Amino acid sequence: MTSKDYVASLFDLTGHVGIITGASRGLGLGQAKVLTDAGATVYNLDLMPHTDEEEIAGGRMTDVICDVTDYKKLETVVREIAEKEGHLDFLINNAGITYKCRAEEFPEDRLDKIMEINLKTPLMLSRICYPYLKESQYIGRIVTISSMAAYMGFTGVLPYDMTKSGVLGLTRGLAEEWKNDNILVNSVAPGWFLTKLNEGMFEQNPDRKAAALAKPMLPKFGRPVEIGYMMLFLLSGASTYLTGRDFPVDGGATSHGF
């Protein structure tokens, strides 16, 4: 095997099977595109199916319509995936929500929902996947989406900031507890990405778009596939000595001075 072939083999995910929550659009869809291009079989757990068929290589992503807060249903879904494929090799906790409101007025029901989807679900789904991931022949992987908001304060989204900071604790804690169980646990912190959701927000508020561009060290928005590239690295044979860490993909936003 040549050195070029060896490097390519490190990033070949042919035969790997995994779950991504919220992969119907945006960052999750970008991740699914990269991972399926690398040969992985992906199951998208979301309330809606993905709509851009051209984004997914060879039809290697299957939509499973479900509520990621219905943990009994998730137990069944994960078991059926593992039984059908014969194994489960990775979990990406991508689904997340936010709501803009100042802290002193934040509705309690919105707070509870953000806490559940952004923090409780990643823990519960990791627990559900645990018995399958620890048997992976490739080393089981769990990667959760955190955020630059885990490091920086943003006005009007305090529960989002709280939960994304909590993802860092979840990552460290699971990495420590499962270090001897053939599972590596990491997280990825996106910065500003030009998803359809953000595009709509920027259309309504051009000043916010200018402010967002001023945040990163690199004055441009990221592309969803760029989160996918980091995911590919963290699921690949090139990252077998990495666990318990958060990896910013933020254009230098959390390192930006003035």
Helix, strand or coil, per DSSP, at residue 97? coil
What number is the average pLDDT over the span 76-100? 97
pLDDT digits (tens, 9 = 90+) for 200-244: 667 777 777 787 777 778 888 899 999 999 999 999 999 999 999
What number is the average pLDDT over the span 179-207? 84
Model pLDDT, residue 139: 97
State how far Cα 189 lies from the chain centre.
Answer: 9
User: How far is the C-alpha of 30 from the C-alpha of 250, rounded, in Å?
Assistant: 15
Distances (CA, A) of 252 to 9, 28, 35, 160: 30, 21, 24, 20
Does residue 241 carry a catalytic annotation?
A: no
Q: Does residue 158 have a pLDDT over 90?
A: yes
Domain residue ranges of the chain, discontinuous segments joined by +: 3-251
Model pLDDT, residue 79: 98
Model pLDDT, residue 52: 66
Topology given in CATH for the domain delimited by 3-251: Rossmann fold (3.40.50)
Give the chain's mean pLDDT.
92
User: How far is the C-alpha of 60 from the C-alpha of 79, rounded, in Å?
Assistant: 19
DSSP 6-58: HHHHHT--TT-EEEEET-SSHHHHHHHHHHHHTT-EEEEEESS----GGGSGG
User: How far is the C-alpha of 217 from the C-alpha of 223, rounded, in Å?
Assistant: 16
pLDDT digits (tens, 9 = 90+) for 24-66: 999 999 999 999 999 999 999 999 888 765 556 567 899 999 9
What number is the average pLDDT over the span 160-189? 98
User: How far is the C-alpha of 202 from the C-alpha of 127, rounded, in Å?
Assistant: 37
Q: Determine how β-strand 61-65 pairs with β-strand 90-93.
A: unpaired
What number is the average pLDDT over the span 122-136? 98
Work out the pLDDT band at 19, boundaries 50, 70, 90: very high
DSSP 117-136: IIIIHHHHHHHHHHHHHTT-
Higher local confidence (pLDDT), 100 or 43: 43
Burial 189-209 (b: 16+ CB within 10 A, else e): bbbbbbbeebeeebeeeeeeb
Model pLDDT, residue 195: 77
Phi, psi torsion values for 166, nearest 5 degrees = -65, -30
Instruction: Report whether 197 contacts 26 (CB < 8 A).
Output: yes
Q: What percent of the chain has pLDDT over 70?
A: 95
User: How far is the C-alpha of 90 from the C-alpha of 245, rounded, in Å?
Assistant: 16
Count the neighbouring beta carbons within 10 Å of the beta carbon of residue 17. 22
Helix, strand or coil, per DSSP, at residue 98? coil
DSSP 183-246: EEEEEEEE--B--HHHHHHHHH-HHHHHHHHHSSSSSS-B-HHHHHHHHHHHHSTT-TT--S-E
Per annotation, catalytic residue among 43, 130, 151, 160: 160
What number is the average pLDDT over the span 7-19? 96
Model pLDDT, residue 75: 98
Global confidence as pTM: 0.94
Strand partners, 142: 91, 185
User: How far is the C-alpha of 139 from the C-alpha of 172, rounded, in Å?
Assistant: 18
